[in-house]
Amino acid sequence: MTALDDAPGTPLADAPLVDAAQIRAAMDHYTRQGLSDGLPVVPVTEEYLQEFLAVTTRDPDEVLLTMAHLNRQLTVRLAAVNAALAGCRPDFFPVVLAAWDALATEPYPVRGIWQSTTGTAPFLIVNGPVRDRIGLNSRGNVFGSGFPANATIGRAIRLAAINVFGLQPHQLDQATQATPAKYTACIAANEEDSPWEPLHVERGLAAGDSTVTATVIRSVVHVEARHTHSPEQLARDVVDTITRTGALLHEYTSAFVVLGPEHARVFADAGWSKEDTRRFLLTHAVRPRAELAAVGKDAISRHTRWRLPADHPDAVPDQAGRGTDPDLVPVLGSPGSVQVVVAGADNAGVSAVVEVFGHPREWPASIARVEAPPIGG
């Protein structure tokens, strides 16, 4: 008989009473108007919006990002409406603002990449004390579901892209397939289980600062390597994923390697610093030209600089093809094209390669500081 005590259909203890029809009516309204990512959104009134605007010193009318070609501007107020809609708590909002600050300095969003067939998504890495303050997950299931801050901060970006910039799928957003990261892609770094200094400290910020690092990504690819304690073997396994030809739209690719703590220790225990690890990946991320020729990507277009076969009328040699060792083609174009972050549970030899969209840059992302909470707050 005890099983009946928690039988399905009985009222949930301690839950508030609701007018379910009214909640549904509000959620349905947003969906019908195309103001969502397909999932139900949280109804936002002016009173609720004010709770978000109260956690920042910034002017609600401050412009965070302008898409001149779409004639649209994202203000602090609109970022707050969409954060609330996404299900953020008001105390998540400073992280959303920092995410927009970082994304605003990224080269591709203002150049129409979120309309592109390639189907990219923003990707956010959070460092520093704010992770614990708002419950951001940095451990098990770090790319998965289950954590309100991770789930809703990434979603706040997507909803603003749809609602503020008008990037509706099948209309201005013409992604051929896109990526599941479009719903949300926000991880916290696992600084506590990392043998190395965290990303924001590497970038010259204080350990006590909280930051959001943002970039534009195409895929998150698994690396399973539970078999080895050799840093060289592990690094080459990661390299194989970085250098896959499918990632090569442009001449080069770029990547954030998100190492599980166990993998990070394989390198650290062998005496490799993060910089050593990065250098090894960079140096070895090379494909024999014959392998690129086999998939028809052994040259680049004189117009778009995209990879294509050497016998194509638009083909010109890639950079390696004009150098001293034309048969070995580096796929990472700049010393900064591969970065290393530690995140995930300390329970298995699993990592991921996050493929960053675009041409080589000194650093393949932008970083912004999260506004500190008010004193005594």
Partner 1 sequence: MTATATLAPLVDPTGRRNKAADSTLAPRPTSLRGLTVGLLDNTKPNATALLTAIAGELRQRYDVAEPRSYVKDYFGTPAEPELIERIVRECDVVITAIGDCGSCSAATVADGVLFERAGLPAVSICSDSFLMSARAMAGLEGFPGFEFIAVQHPVASLDGEQIAQRARGAMPEVLRILGVEA
E strands, 156-210, are 186-188
Within its chain, how far is the Cα of 132 from the centroid? 19
Residue 72 or 139: the one with the smaller Cβ distance to partner 1 is 72
Nearest to 192 by CA among 258, 259, 138: 138
- How many residues does this entry show for the chain? 377
Judged by CB under 8 A, the stretch of 161-169, 187-195, 268-276, 321-329 that binds partner 1 is: 161-169
Residue 74 or 187: the one with the smaller Cβ distance to partner 1 is 74
Task: List the structure tokens of 17.
Answer: 């009473």
Does the protein bind partner 1 through residue 101 (CB under 8 A)? no
The amino acid that residue 28 corresponds to is: D
DSSP single-letter state for residue 39: S
Return the residues of window 185-244 that contact partner 1 according to CB under 8 A. Answer: none
- In which residue are the tokens 């709770």 written? 51
Return the residues of window 303-322 that contact partner 1 according to CB under 8 A. Answer: 303-304, 314
Residue 72 or 279: the one with the smaller Cβ distance to partner 1 is 72
- Rounded Cα distance between 286 and 258, Å, is 20
Residue 208 or 309: the one with the smaller Cβ distance to partner 1 is 309
- Cβ atoms of 242 and 287 closer than 8 Å: no
Strand partners, 188: 126
Site string for partner 1, 262-281 (x = CB under 8 A): --------------------
In the set 70, 104, 201, 372, which binds partner 1 (CB under 8 A)? 70
Provide, rounded to whole angstroms, the least separation between the CB of residue 226 and partner 1: 39
Judged by CB under 8 A, the stretch of 63-71, 136-144, 203-211, 289-297 that binds partner 1 is: 63-71
Residue 23 or 207: the one with the smaller Cβ distance to partner 1 is 23
Does the protein bind partner 1 through residue 69 (CB under 8 A)? yes
Does the protein bind partner 1 through residue 68 (CB under 8 A)? yes
| Main-chain phi, psi angles of 278, to 5 degrees | -60, -45
Residue 168 or 233: the one with the smaller Cβ distance to partner 1 is 168
In the set 104, 113, 270, 316, which binds partner 1 (CB under 8 A)? 113
In the set 40, 60, 73, 310, which binds partner 1 (CB under 8 A)? 73
Does the protein bind partner 1 through residue 116 (CB under 8 A)? yes
- Rounded Cα distance between 358 and 247, Å, is 11
Does the protein bind partner 1 through residue 168 (CB under 8 A)? yes
Does the protein bind partner 1 through residue 165 (CB under 8 A)? yes
Provide, rounded to whole angstroms, the least separation between the CB of residue 112 and partner 1: 3
CB atoms within 10 A of CB 17: 6
Does the protein bind partner 1 through residue 163 (CB under 8 A)? yes
User: Is residue 284 classed exposed, middle or buried when 0-12, 13-18 and 19+ CB atoms within 10 A define those classes?
Assistant: middle
Residue 45 or 57: the one with the smaller Cβ distance to partner 1 is 45
First to last CA, the chain: 48
- Rounded Cα distance between 98 and 205, Å, is 14
Provide, rounded to whole angstroms, the least separation between the CB of residue 224 and partner 1: 33
Q: Are strands 72-75 and 63-67 parallel, antiparallel or unpaired?
A: antiparallel
DSSP single-letter state for residue 250: B
Strand partners, 125: 187, 213
- Rounded Cα distance between 213 and 188, Å, is 10
Binding site for partner 1 (CB under 8 A): 17, 19, 26, 29-30, 35, 43-47, 49, 68-74, 78, 81-82, 85, 110-113, 115-117, 159-160, 163-166, 168, 170-175, 301, 303-304, 314
